Amino acid sequence: MVRWGMVIDLKRCTGCHSCSVACKVEHHTPPGVFWAKVVRIESGKYPTVIRQAVPLLCMHCREPECEKVCPTGATKKQPDGRVTVDSDECVGCRYCAVACPYGARCFAPDWKDYFTGDKKPSSPYAEYSKKKWLEESDKGVVSKCDFCEERVEQGKQPACVNACPCEARTFGDLDDPESEVSQLIKKRRGMQLHPEYGTDASVYYLPAR
Amino acid sequence: MSQSTSSSQGDACVLQQEDFKPGARTQMEWGFGGRRRWRDGALLMALFLGGVGAGQFVVSTWLIDSVTSALVGLLVVGVGKTVAHLMYLGQPKRFYRLFLKPKTSWISRGLIFMVVFVAFGAAYLAPDIGFDWVPWETGSTFSDALLIGAILSASLVMVYDGFVLASCKSITAWNTALMPPLFFTYAVAGGTAMTYLTLIAMGSDIPNEDTLTTIDSVLLVSMFALLVIYVMNMKTSTATARESLRKLTTTKVAVAFIGVAIIAGLLVPLSLTLYQGVAATETVASVLLALSSILELSGDLSVRHSILRAGLHAPVFSEGL
């Protein structure tokens, strides 16, 4: 059985936020909701200080904390390793958002336009986005990255992977030892965030140095 | 993309600077400063009302046998906590779904405890509050069994909030075994204070006053000890826990934690409770007791508020990336 996962090469990531924008365009997420985001961290000590852009998204853990704490069963582990939220079942208690160690979940009480001066949507695109978002997700529920389920079903790469100009992201089957992701993890010592929580994340990071 | 806040968005969908910061990240969903402040207030009230209501029921039935006070406690949980929870939910119409996963979710478990408590509590009180057609009487074996069920489930209602918070692994200020006993002790003390206030408001005498006062004093000392251990634990724990402690003691939260929860909510009531025992007149003693109870309740609310506010997620990244 396939287990989808992602490898992010921190040496290649320039922090251009293409992934964040591609994700917003693909899923029409409202303002304030970022399923893919990039943060910048500084590490090391002078004179060997490094400033690093680190892309973040849902880690699609094998043992997800969010799924354990969800009181409604809206958060589900799929057989292909993805962790999804059924917006028809979510009650918006946000226990999952509090329990997620990676800050990957977003709560949107309502859809609001980026520019709130006018009552009308600011552009045809904004109007379309609102329509699409409300078609696919109820207001007042939690949402998160689903590894672009529809794209992957069509044999495409997730939007963030597709959009990355530096090819810092690789998507594939973690259970296949010959897949590119498995090889990258093996050869370049890919690491998970917070392995001590026992979540067994499906997103791996290749060290910048 | 900047790390700025789009403040023109009102209370909804505000881009949180916290989401893009490295380092410890404040949990916004259950704390004030989130996307909907009044909803955070509703959650805090749900935690508070659940604790003190269940505590009041236990104290009123077990220690002083006051039906009115027990009924108030039951209503505080059955109505107050329920309404507060519904106000907080993003999709309140689907509230029934909250009961579906007791196997792994403490919220499901807690709500089941709450329903069981309200059912047992109401059944126990029924003969005394006008429903004399029920086929059992107060003092019968069946009634005693109902009381035991109600007290046990009330205890679980008092303690489950602590387990909800303690289950969040990345929030080190919450992920401690101290949370359940802390919430339980605060709930019993808050219940005692609510019982005092109810009886004073009704103008009735307080049965077993000496016992209650002694229990209240012991609870206040225990709460103080638990808070000291909690703070010491954070001080010697991870960097995130130390940051939570800094937030509790040196930021605006310190007003609620040190000022209201510790000084006004613990030390002053302890002094008043001890002093009211030797007060010159009964009126003075009643006033001191009422004042002490109000301060205890404000301390209870503040400590829950402070703990929610001190919740910081451990940094997503560690050195070496």
Contact B92, B101 (CB under 8 A): no
If DSSP codes are grouped into helix, strand and coil, which group holds residue B167? Answer: coil
Specify the pLDDT at position B19. 55
Query: What mean pLDDT do residues B139-159 have?
Result: 96
Rounded distance between C-alpha atoms, residue B282 and residue B271, angstroms: 17
* CA distance to partner chain B, nearest, from residue A79 (Å): 19
A residues 84..113 contacting B (CB < 8 A): 89-95, 97-103, 107-112
Q: Does residue B120 register a pLDDT over 50?
A: yes
Specify the pLDDT at position B13. 38
Burial of A52 (0-12, 13-18, 19+ CB in 10 A): buried
Q: Which residues of chain A have pLDDT under 70?
A: 116-121
Specify the pLDDT at position B36. 57
pTM of the predicted model as reported, rounded to 2 decimal places: 0.89
Rounded distance between C-alpha atoms, residue A145 and residue A70, angstroms: 17
* CA distance to partner chain A, nearest, from residue B109 (Å): 9
Specify the pLDDT at position B320. 45
Among the listed ranges A187-196, B3-12, B63-72, B213-222, which one has the minimum average pLDDT value?
A: B3-12
If DSSP codes are grouped into helix, strand and coil, which group holds residue B26? Answer: strand
* CA distance to partner chain A, nearest, from residue B141 (Å): 36
Query: Which one, of A15, A174, A91, A99, lies nearest residue B87 by Cα?
Result: A91
B306: Cβ–Cβ under 8 A, 6 or more apart, which residues?
B248, B253, B256, B257, B261
pLDDT bin (cut points 50, 70, 90) of residue B9 is very low
Task: Write the pLDDT tens digit of every residue in B263-312.
Answer: 999 999 988 887 776 766 777 778 888 899 999 999 999 999 999 999 99
Yes or no, beta carbons of A32 and B16 under 8 Å apart: yes
CA distances, B81 to each of A2, A198, B6, B111, B176 (Å)? 45, 34, 33, 10, 25
Yes or no, beta carbons of B105 and A71 under 8 Å apart: yes
Angle between helices B67-75 and B179-202 (to 10 degrees): 130
CA distances, A143 to each of A57, B26, B106 (Å)? 12, 19, 21
The token pair at B69 is: 């006070």
Specify the pLDDT at position B22. 64
The token pair at B98 is: 């909250």
Task: Write the pLDDT tens digit of every residue in A135-170.
Answer: 888 788 999 999 999 999 999 999 999 999 999 999
pLDDT bin (cut points 50, 70, 90) of residue B55 is very high
Contact A170, A161 (CB under 8 A): yes
Q: Which residues does chain A have within 8 Å of residue B98's beta carbon, measured at their own beta carbons?
A: 71-72, 91, 93
- Top pLDDT among B168 and B41 is at B168
Q: Does residue B15 register a pLDDT over 80?
A: no
Specify the pLDDT at position A109. 75
Rounded distance between C-alpha atoms, residue B152 and residue A166, angstroms: 60
Rounded distance between C-alpha atoms, residue B255 and residue B269, angstroms: 17
Among the listed ranges A91-95, B20-24, B203-207, which one has the minimum average pLDDT value?
A: B20-24
H helix or E strand, kind and range, residue B113: helix B106-125
B contact test, residue of A58, A93, A115, A196 with most B CBs within 10 A: A93
If DSSP codes are grouped into helix, strand and coil, which group holds residue B62? Answer: helix
Query: Which one, of A110, A178, A113, lies nearest residue A139 by Cα?
Result: A110
Specify the pLDDT at position B12. 37
Tell me what percent of the residues of chain B surpass a pLDDT of 90.
67
CA distances, B162 to each of A115, B158, B159, B181, B208 (Å)? 41, 8, 6, 7, 30
Which domains does chain A possess? Answer: 4-206 (3.30.70.20)
Contact A83, A69 (CB under 8 A): no
Top mean pLDDT of A41-55, B23-37, B101-115, B284-298 is at B101-115
Nearest to A103 among B13, B25, B100 (CB): B25
H helix or E strand, kind and range, residue B158: helix B141-166
CA distances, A182 to each of A5, A94, B232 (Å)? 9, 33, 44
Chain B residue with CA closest to A15: the answer is: B1
Judging by DSSP bridges, how do beta strands A169-173 and A4-9 pair with one another?
antiparallel
DSSP letters, chain A, are ---EEEEEETTT-----HHHHHHHHHHTPPTT--SSEEEEEEES-TTS-EEEEEEE-----SS-HHHHH-SSS-EEE-TTS-EEE-TTT-----HHHHH-TT---EEESS---S--SSSS-SSHHHHHHHHHHHHHS-TTEEE---S-HHHHHTTPPPHHHHH-TT--EEEEETT-TTSHHHHHHHHTT-B-S-GGGT---SEEEE---
Query: What mean pLDDT do residues B24-44 have?
Result: 75
Contact B77, B117 (CB under 8 A): yes
Q: Which residues does chain A have within 8 Å of residue B16's beta carbon, measured at their own beta carbons?
A: 32
Contact A173, A30 (CB under 8 A): no
A residues 126..145 contacting B (CB < 8 A): 138-142
Specify the pLDDT at position A140. 87
Specify the pLDDT at position A40. 87
> Using omega within 30 degrees of 0 as the cis cutoff, is the peptide bond preceding B181 cis?
no
Yes or no, beta carbons of A90 and B321 under 8 Å apart: no
Residue A37 bridge partners (DSSP): A56
Q: Does residue B201 register a pLDDT over 50?
A: yes
A191: Cβ–Cβ under 8 A, 6 or more apart, which residues?
A204, A205, A207
Yes or no, beta carbons of B170 and A68 under 8 Å apart: no
Rounded distance between C-alpha atoms, residue B129 and residue B291, angstroms: 29
Q: Does residue B10 register a pLDDT over 60?
A: no
Yes or no, beta carbons of B13 and A92 under 8 Å apart: no
Rounded distance between C-alpha atoms, residue A66 and residue A86, angstroms: 13
CATH topology of domain B32-313: Formate dehydrogenase/DMSO reductase fold (1.20.1630)
- Top pLDDT among B32 and B112 is at B112
